Amino acid sequence: MIVTCPKCSAKNRVDESAAAVSQPVCGRCGAMLKTDAWSGADGSGVSTPLVITDASFTRDVMQAGARPVLLDCWAEWCGPCRMIGPIIDQLAAESAGRYITAKLNVDENPRTAAQLGIQSIPALLIFKNGELVDRMIGAQPKQAIVARLAAHS
């Protein structure tokens, strides 16, 4: 993708998989570049969870590198999923690049849900270096999720 530097307006080519692992910087002036993984899809400067699909799962989760990825497996009709949705959004905003938050709609992406063995939702999965390292089933308090993420940081 091509990202314009907010400081010097230089156009920078940014590898999306590398941007998911480390903060991209401008080749001309060294300023931090805003990408979806780092600044939120809306460009607001606030991180938001990545939307994961069957097509993007390998790239965005399995190849994310050493930074933990918190994957929220959810569905629109699920009450407990809607309860923890705001918590996932808060964690994304507070991540400061320490971890990546992502959401997988299991109804829209059945192949990945089946591959992960999702039988109950919400299911919160933590990946690191392409490996599933932790799994939480059901609605969890924010403190419990933070503690599990910290154990894998």
**DSSP secondary structure code for residue 91 in this structure:** H
Catalytic residues: 78, 81
The contacts of residue 2 (CB under 8 Å, 6+ apart) are 11, 12, 13, 14
Instruction: Please check whether residue 7 is in contact with residue 28, taking contact to mean a CB–CB distance below 8 angstroms.
Output: no
Say how far apart CA 118 and CA 105 lie, in whole Å. 11
Tokens standing for residue 11 = 């156009």
- Which DSSP string do the residues of 127-143 spell out, in sequence order? EETTEEEEEEES---HH
Residue 55's contacts (CB-CB under 8 Å, 6 or more residues apart) are none
Q: Quote the tokens at residue 99.
A: 């971890």
